[in-house]
Chain A
Amino acid sequence: NAGVMQNPRHLVRRRGQEARLRCSPMKGHSHVYWYRQLPEEGLKFMVYLQKENIIDESGMPKERFSAEFPKEGPSILRIQQVVRGDSAAYFCASSSLVGSTEAFFGQGTRLTVV
């Protein structure tokens, strides 16, 4: 079974450009979570999605950030007009059940804004 797949692994963007991060959940998983991690810090919850629905976006910045999980295809985290402070590792996790105590993480996308 393939695990959670994220791409790209590394992404470099200039200030003002757009960044698109992709996440394919584990087979059979319909719940996707995005997290952001700064160096030497824990992960911060951003958004929880099910197919075609945003369930909880309480951790998502109000501006420039958006997420989707379409009926077909991977989940996308989109950051518009990136700034240096957006540089971080972005992790996606997936689970199969609401209330499941286990979520499986991808290897992350490391975004560097120059």
Chain B
Amino acid sequence: DQQVKQNSPSLSVQEGRISILNCDYTNSMFDYFLWYKKYPAEGPTFLISISSIKDKNEDGRFTVFLNKSAKHLSLHIVPSQPGDSAVYFCAASARTNAGKSTFGDGTTLTVKP
């Protein structure tokens, strides 16, 4: 049973537009969520996170929204830039096992100039 799901394997947007990447989870014990970005031949790098006590966290062009009742989070990138083209992974962890994160399968974002 996959506890963290990213149902869109890929997303293509025009430069300057908004990119919205979605993530769903099933484990109600998850209370901390992270997004990582991965370029080819590199390891993932941390992008932004959100605690379950919040419903929004913003960092520059990146905003993560959390809907606990729907067990859904989304990453918004505005405006999208060609350098944002990468694979984005959603990850979740629970306070009861804070060291361990469960990752989704990733969404490949392509931003076209």
A and B associate: no
Chain A residues in the interface with B (C-beta under 8 A):
none
